[in-house]
Structure 1
Amino acid sequence: MSPFKSLDYESPSSFEDHVNDDSAIVDLLYPSMDEGLESNNVEIIGSCNGLICLLLCDTDKISLWNPSTRVSRDLPNLTCNFHNDCPIFNGFGYDSINNTYKVVRGTSDGIVDVFSTSGKRWRRIQGFKDISIFDEEQGVFFNGTLHWLGYNDINGTKKEKTIVTLDLGQETFGVMKQPILEHDENVNFHNVGVLQGCLSLLNKGNGLYYEIWVMKEYGVISSWIKLFVLDIDDFEHSGYVDPICFTKNGELIVDNEGYQLVRYNIEKKTCQTLMNHSDGWFQQIVYIQSLVSLYGNVI
């Protein structure tokens, strides 16, 4: 059985009743992987234009995969191993300036390597200083840029929580301020994402609710707005939620603590389970079907 599954979240079916559409959840075949591979040995780095970037944890191998064409590409090993004691962050996205896809790996001390699908080897780029990225963060691609949560060191004495950015075309790092709140005692922003075509953040408030924030105009700090609030009690697993995307009729697809994918009706405050994984934790990412090639420049 394949450890990878595709879920059509627009399907009317649910975990409790698949009669409406028994093809809503299908197995995905990954050609270059060992038959005995388990999903808990794989990390999803990112998704872009129908391509998915995966990290095989046992071998530290990175692979690109197009589920629609069933084609995969294993990337070459890094020429230089990172320090074992340095947390690693990753990212995957599209460089429209150079018409290529890029995979990024870096460490907390500013060592950053990039692989382009139009090339054959990893190369080191200018890293960053006075910035740190949270441990084992996977970058979120939006507007030609990768985004991670991290800290901005101010005068070497104060650390300010921020969004760390990497422009894939220019290959330059920067920072972007999080929403500025008058009362910050209940501020705990996490989960960078993309919702309704905007960069998004999730704030777990005082532990009783989740606030979803979006940046209506990219790069403009004053355009951060609170989209709506989720009550923790509305979800079966209250410790963690990750808003993924909206359906066409305005319902929110939510990863509920890695055990469930649910369709949340914001007005009725009800959840419909789409996928249940009670035996363990799963990962998810949104992808579109495409015929994009894994080799060379984008056609």
Structure 2
Amino acid sequence: MATCKVLPVPPAAKLLVVSPTEKLDSATVCSYSPSGLRDDLLFTIDCARPNSVEVVTPSSCCGLTLVYDAAALAYYVCNAATRAITRVPPYRDPTHASSAGLGFDARTREYKVVRLINGYSHEQEAVRCDVYTPGADCWRPATGRLPFRWTMSVVSAVNHAMMNRTQPVFANGFLHWLISPALLGRRPRAAVISFSVAEETFGCIRSPPFWEPKEHLRPWSQSEGEHLVVMDDQVCIVRNLRNGTPHGSALEIWGLLDYGSGGTLNHRIDLFGHIRRELGEPQVVRVIGSLGNRRSGKKIVIATSKHWVYEKFHKKVYTYDPSCQVLEEMLSVTETHDSVERWIPGSRFSLVEESLAPVHKVVE
């Protein structure tokens, strides 16, 4: 094991956590410190079913977080720093498979909630894209249309997000959805569908080098664990190699330096000893972001979920120091989730970023 150098301590992390209350119609949103102790009660979401509320954004977008109530089919945008929250108007076609993300338009200085929707076979459009902007009373179609040649890739990305609870991420003005070769049935030329929040147009990112021609034939456990994360303002693909073999028990983080390179390997977390037990056994492992930097000492933040009994799950959040390969527990909770499909519950964690970005329409 590598020797861990003494570096300046990175700024204390704040973790946003959604927790149920004793009431049947509300959920609380709290922030937690690295010690794992409750730091502060931020606000309460009233008229929400406690066990069905989840966090959509693994890390905040310019200080804003997108929360979803699966029972009420309602989205909320909140700011942990200002403790402001607003409910997004109801969206159309609630029965369709869909995936939503939160982005920020640097030109207007406002957020947008973007929802990709898979249509039914009898409908004219196989995929639609709806956008909500603050102050509007309803969703509207995106300005740009999806190129027809990318239709099946977007369908795959939406299904992957729904089935495996992998949400889109926002970076550098774009929302990003991961395409699943296993659901597409072939190796796609692109790995990620991107959406410009300002222009409302679509693009794509080239497939990484580890996606082979027979990529869709991989074990399903690897495919469902693959997800996107933003680290150092860079979109990364987390590759799941937790298959239990001596040479294949790892998590790899591939950074997409640009949209045409296909990615480079930034980090490899080998599972051994304590790390194997904590990251190898849970059914779900998600890298949700990073803290610090090279100077202060970077730490990778990892969330896990393990099915316990009935609708209860053991969930933990860790920090991993890649320089000395040390895994430290940040938070451990037991949660109840209603109507969980395939025993993959939604996340209730998000990294908090301090910002004064408003959640309501403001007049300057």
Q: TM-score range by the shorter chain?
A: 0.7 to 0.9
Say which SS state the counterpart of residue 242 (structure 1) adopts.
Answer: strand
Q: Which residue is 2:138 aligned to? A: 121
Equivalent in 30, 33, 36 of residue 5 of structure 1: 30
- Per-residue deviation at 1:262? 1.0
**Structure 2 residue ranges without an equivalent (≥5):** 1-20, 22-26, 119-125, 244-248, 307-314, 337-344
> CA 1:110–1:159 in structure 2 vs 1: closer, same or farther (change >3 Å)?
farther
The question of whether the paired residues in 2 share the 8 Å contact of 1:100 and 1:298 is answered with no
The question of whether the paired residues in 1 share the 8 Å contact of 2:204 and 2:259 is answered with no
The question of whether the paired residues in 1 share the 8 Å contact of 2:172 and 2:233 is answered with no
TM-score by length of 1: 0.80
> CA 1:138–1:297 in structure 2 vs 1: closer, same or farther (change >3 Å)?
farther
Q: Match for 2:286: what amino acid?
A: D
Distance in 1 (CA, whole Å) between partners of 2:316 and 2:299 is 16
* Structure with higher helix content: 2
Q: Which residue is 1:255 aligned to? A: 303
Q: Which residue is 2:328 aligned to? A: 272
Equivalent in 267, 280, 284 of residue 240 of structure 1: 284
The question of whether the paired residues in 2 share the 8 Å contact of 1:237 and 1:257 is answered with no
> CA 1:99–1:261 in structure 2 vs 1: closer, same or farther (change >3 Å)?
same
Say which SS state the counterpart of residue 48 (structure 1) adopts.
Answer: coil
- Per-residue deviation at 1:100? 2.1
**Structure 1 residue ranges without an equivalent (≥5):** 16-21
Q: Match for 1:88: what amino acid?
A: S
Equivalent in 203, 216, 230 of residue 194 of structure 1: 230
- Per-residue deviation at 1:89? 0.8
> CA 1:219–1:183 in structure 2 vs 1: closer, same or farther (change >3 Å)?
closer
Q: Which residue is 1:111 aligned to? A: 128
Say how many residue pairs are matched: 277
The question of whether the paired residues in 1 share the 8 Å contact of 2:193 and 2:204 is answered with yes
The question of whether the paired residues in 2 share the 8 Å contact of 1:53 and 1:64 is answered with yes
In the alignment, does 2:210 pair up with 1:174?
no
Percent of aligned positions that are identical: 19
The question of whether the paired residues in 2 share the 8 Å contact of 1:7 and 1:26 is answered with yes
The question of whether the paired residues in 2 share the 8 Å contact of 1:48 and 1:287 is answered with no
Equivalent in 93, 100, 105 of residue 81 of structure 1: 93
Distance in 1 (CA, whole Å) between partners of 2:29 and 2:235 is 27
Q: Which residue is 1:18 aligned to? A: none
Q: Which residue is 1:221 aligned to? A: 261
Distance in 2 (CA, whole Å) between partners of 1:265 and 1:241 is 17
The question of whether the paired residues in 2 share the 8 Å contact of 1:263 and 1:273 is answered with yes
- Per-residue deviation at 1:51? 1.5
The question of whether the paired residues in 1 share the 8 Å contact of 2:49 and 2:72 is answered with no
Matches within 5 A, 1:3-82: 3-9=28-34, 13=35, 15=36, 25-30=39-44, 32-34=45-47, 37-38=49-50, 40-46=51-57, 47-78=60-91, 80-82=92-94
Q: Which residue is 2:5 aligned to? A: none
Q: C-alpha offsets along residues 25-70 of structure 1, whole Å, 9 cap, x if unaligned?
A: 433213x523x741x3113223312111212111111221122222
Q: Match for 1:257: what amino acid?
A: S
- Per-residue deviation at 1:151? 5.5
Q: Which residue is 1:134 aligned to? A: 158
Say which SS state the counterpart of residue 46 (structure 2) adopts.
Answer: coil
Distance in 1 (CA, whole Å) between partners of 2:303 and 2:107 is 33
**Which deviates further from its counterpart, 236-245 or 45-54?**
236-245
The question of whether the paired residues in 1 share the 8 Å contact of 2:49 and 2:69 is answered with no
Say which SS state the counterpart of residue 134 (structure 1) adopts.
Answer: helix
- Per-residue deviation at 1:212? 0.9
